[in-house]
Structure 1
Amino acid sequence: MAAHVVYKGPSVVKEILIGISLGLVAGGFWKMHHWNNQRRTKEFYDLLEKGEISVVREDE
């Protein structure tokens, strides 16, 4: 005679998979944020090198 389980606790495997998925999504957004900052920095230095912008304030 087998007893039926009334309360089924949380599934460890399911929670691990959900945690991994959320971590990958958050990591992806973080990486995109860093790629965006890297692109903006590269554009800034490219413009600076071309002489189109300057970091020195012009006298008025």
Structure 2
Amino acid sequence: MAGPRIAHATLKGPSVVKEIVIGIALGLAAGSIWKMHHWNEQKRVRSFYDLLNKGEITLVPTEEQIF
């Protein structure tokens, strides 16, 4: 007596090409975020030294800042 056939999902192994593509995409995303962070830090440091060279800011504390 043959029962009704049920279609079961067959489990496949990992797709190497798919994993490589996902890895590349994640690597590019993380790298671009890191690069943008690095550029923002460079901009902050550059503006600090520009203000320091212009004399608009100083690293020497005044009497008001000490007390």
List aligned pairs for 1:19-58, cutoff 5 A.
Answer: 19-58=23-62
Give aligned-pair identity as a percent.
67
Structure 2 regions of 5+ residues with no counterpart? 1-9
Greater CA radius of gyration, 1 or 2?
A: 2
SS of structure 2 residue aligned to 1:8:
coil
Q: State the shift of 1:22 in Å.
A: 0.1
Q: State the shift of 1:36 in Å.
A: 0.3
TM-score when scaled to structure 2?
0.77
The Cα RMSD (Å) is 0.9
Q: Distance in 2 between matches of 1:17 and 1:57?
A: 54
Structure 1 regions of 5+ residues with no counterpart? 1-5
TM-score when scaled to structure 1?
0.86
1:14 matched to 2:40? The reply is: no
Aligned length: 55
